[in-house]
Amino acid sequence: MIADAKKREPLREELERLETALGTPAVPGELANWATMIRKSFDGACGAIVSQIQSVHPEQIEEIEGQDPELLARTKQLREDDQSNQEWCHRLSQAFADFETKAKRAGADEKQVMEQQQSLLEEGLKFVTHVRKQETAIRSWLQEAFQRDTGLGD
């Protein structure tokens, strides 16, 4: 279990870093630099998220199934949510890169990208919340699989 905690640590740190970046206001005249900082933070978090989904979650989900086959419907949902998070990560990564390009083009006329900026910030924070929710769900079902009383005698 200690190895699992170490594997989860980089994700938690990346999510916190991203959340801090998303909460950092853009200083007028510095939108292009801010957009680059946000994109880099998002890309770092995405790397950690995809790594978690591909290398840690399969083991955890298989462990849940091995401990309690009655949770197959739950593990199916966990896998679907992982797939959704990977796709969402890719879409948002593209959106942040697109915003960075537009912010650089806008130069001093930052007003033309303010709406897109606000939309991306909201979507980014929703994404962070969803990823955290998935991590909590996997930990909870893993714990439940080990502690659940299936009604079978010892």
Q: What is the per-residue DSSP string for 19-63?
A: HHHHHSPPPTT-HHHHHHHHHHHHHHHHHHHHHIIIIIHHHHHHH
pLDDT value of position 124 = 96
What is d(CA 13, CA 9) in angstroms, rounded to the nearest whole number? 6
Q: Which helix (H) or strand (E) holds 90?
A: helix 72-106
| Nearest Cα residue to 11 out of 39, 51, 58 | 51
pLDDT value of position 146 = 84
Retrieve residue 104's tokens. Answer: 């650089």
| Residues of the chain where predicted confidence (pLDDT) is lower than 50 | 1-3, 5-8, 153-154
pLDDT value of position 10 = 76
For 50, 60, 108, 119, the CA distances from 141, given in Å and listed in that order, are: 20, 9, 50, 33
What confidence tens digit (pLDDT) does each residue in 105-141 have? 988 888 889 999 999 999 999 999 999 999 999 999 9
Q: Are 87 and 136 in contact (CB under 8 A)?
A: no
If one counts every other C-beta atom within 10 angstroms of the C-beta of residue 152, the result is: 5
Q: Are 129 and 27 in contact (CB under 8 A)?
A: no
pLDDT value of position 2 = 45
pLDDT value of position 42 = 96
pLDDT value of position 53 = 96
pTM score of the predicted model? 0.85
